[in-house]
Amino acid sequence: MTAERLTAVFARKKRILVTYLCVGDPSVEESVAIARACVDAGADVLELGVPFSDPTADGPTIARASLRALRAGGGLGATLRAARALRDGGCVAPIVLFGYYNPLFVRGDARAVDDAAAAGVDALLVVDLPSEEGAELRARARERGLAVIPLVAPTSSPARIEAARAEKPPFVYYVSMTGVTGSADAPLAEAGRAAGALRAQVGVPVVVGFGIDSAAKARAAAAGGADGIVVGTALVKRIEAAPSPEKRIEDAVALVRELGTALSLE
Active-site residue list:
47, 58
Q: With contact defined as beta carbons under 8 Å apart, do 131 and 164 qualify?
A: yes
B/e letters for 59-97, b = 16+ CB within 10 Å, e = fewer, are bebbbbbbbbbbeeebbbebbbbbbbbbbeeebebbbbb
Helix (H) or strand (E) holding 20: strand 16-22
Q: Is 15 helix (H, G, I), strand (E, B) or coil?
A: coil
Torsion 242-214-161-121 (CA) sign: positive
Q: How many CA atoms lie within 13 A of 151 on its CB side?
A: 20
Number of residues assigned to the chain: 266
Q: Rounded to whole angstroms, what are the CA distances from 113 to 5, 38, 125, 136, 209? A: 17, 25, 12, 10, 24
Q: Is 27 helix (H, G, I), strand (E, B) or coil?
A: coil
